[in-house]
Each structure stands twice: as structure tokens, then as C-alpha cells.
Structure 1
Amino acid sequence: AKMAEFACLAIDPEYRGGGRGDKLFNFCQAQAKKLGFNQLFCLTTRTEHWFLERGFVEQPVAQLPQEKQALYNFQRKSKVFVKPL
């Protein structure tokens, strides 16, 4: 599988609730697909609900690309989520 990482989406609290996060996510998702990726992955310690609501599924660290597995910090206890495109 050709995987792209989705990382670092933040919306200022004053601008939340207007769908801006979804618009940015949908744009990034479309770009990844256009570039030939067939899966998105993310690492999160606090916002798993947001990713689950958008079709991501929790996966083991072993599902990450090899280079990302090598850099994975087990002390952070980030959860891995993957979404097919």
C-alpha cells in the first residue's frame, strides 16, 4: 500500500464549528488520492474520535510504513489510525 501521513491539523478555537477542519481534511485527502496514495495514516494521542468519525480505523504500529515504524516513539503512546482512499 502506498501511504501518506496526515499530520498537524489545528483550527483556532474562535473558528471551530464552521466545517473548516473538514474542508482542509477533504482537500488533503483528495490531494493524496490525486498523487497516487491509496491510504492515509495518522498518529494521535488525543483526538482519536475525530479520526474515527472520518473513517479511520485503529491499527497496530506494524501497519505503518517501515521508515515511520523506525521513528515511532513508544513513550508517547500515540495511536495509529489508517483510512483507505
Structure 2
Amino acid sequence: MPREAAMHGCCLITGKLGSAGNAIDLPIPPLYKLDSNANGFIEDFGVLAKDVMDKFAGHHAAFTSYRKWLQDEPKIFKQQIADYFCKY
């Protein structure tokens, strides 16, 4: 769902558990990854969500590189396959 949401222009706010916890699987700015086990998580989420709504254009721009990365994924994947099989 994060991929589809980002490609449709949404700003993501996610946790740090699972694949979202690293910058390889979900390469978005750390600001948008909250620790759901932290004290104040609910408040932190509320503050960030309000800021995203109030200053959407700036937050939207923060996801430009992620959207570009998603758009390039099929091309990168095909190149990785070609690189792997062409070596042998």
C-alpha cells in the first residue's frame, strides 16, 4: 500500500517495524517513520499528520525521490536480471 499511495501523490507516515524500518525497502525520509512503541507516539503522529495537511506541498516534495525510485524499479529490475544472466 505505501507504494501505491505514494504513486498517487500521498505523503506516507509509517512505523519502523518490518521492512519499513530500513532505508533500502522503504527509502523515505526518516521524519515520516515513527516508532509505534515510543511514549508519545499518538501525539507525534497527530503533530506530523497536521503538519502534512497544513504544509502539503513541502511534504509532497519530500517524496519526489521515492516516487522516482518506484517509477524506475521495473527498469532497474530488468537490468539486474540481464546483468545476472549475462555474466554466465
Larger relative contact order (Cα-Cα within 8 Å, sequence gap ≥ 6): 1
- TM-score (normalised: structure 2): 0.29
Larger % of helix: which?
2
- TM-score (normalised: structure 1): 0.29
